Amino acid sequence: MNTYNCIIIEDEPLAAEILKEYIADVPFLKLIAVYENAIEALVAIQNDDIDVMFLDINLPKLKGMDFVKTLTHPPRVIITTAYHEYALEGYALNVVDYLLKPIEFNRFLQAVNKLKIYQGILPEDGSFTALEQEYIFVNVAKKKIKIYLADILYIESLKEYVKIFTQESSWTTKLQLGQIEAQIPKHLFLRIHRSFIVAKAKIGAYSSTEVEINGKKIPIGRSYKNIIIKDL
């Protein structure tokens, strides 16, 4: 089992204590240290083998989001905050997940399980390359179908269902778009509309109102435009 070295950056003692207890209960997480501000954590990130940091946003000296932007090769980031309004900015920075306080253990576990999806190699230029064997299973007609992430073109919401499009086929499964969004790595996929998630690598062209994938024109939602400008 892969073990992920973790740090907590949190200035509220009670919140830090809860995260410490949660981490201790997850076999594949190993807590290295707890820091009250981002500046103190910087040395550990630069000198130690840190895989993931649990990061509060409203920190003294340097805010959490600003801290992530200063890092050339940041570890994976799970935001822990009481402020929901920074979620879009967080996802634009490719955070693994965004946890709102008070954090329940089942929600924490859902977030850290995403770390298993983020398996790949980190080249010197900092770009993230997914391994070919990354995949998800979805329920289709009472069977679990394996779909490789590299094959997905885009995903469309059909209210209580989603339709996953690949070059060769499409699959419809009973999930909401937010549920499948939680299963796929954000360095590979981008939500551009309340009804659409697209594979970044498959975008052939885009404008301020739509992206084009394999000849299909997909609309960009008004509230998602700023994210797309930053992320493409």
Q: Which tens digits make up the pLDDT trace of 185-203?
A: 877 899 999 999 999 888 9
Whether residue 102 has a cis bond before it, omega within 30° of 0? yes
The pLDDT of residue 230 is 62
What residue ranges do the domains of the chain occupy? Answer: 4-116, 130-231
The CA distance from 182 to 106, in Å, is: 14
Distance CA 33, CA 188 (A): 30
On the question of a common fold for 4-116 and 130-231, the answer reads no
Average pLDDT, the chain: 84
Architecture (CATH level 2) of domain 130-231: Beta Barrel (2.40)
Where does 4-116 sit in CATH, by number?
3.40.50.2300
CA distance 121 to 131: 8
Helix and strand totals (H; E) in the chain: 7, 17
Pairing state between β 97-100 and 76-81: parallel
Q: What is the pLDDT of residues 3-32, one digit of tens each?
A: 899 999 999 999 999 999 999 999 999 999
- The model carries a pTM of 0.54
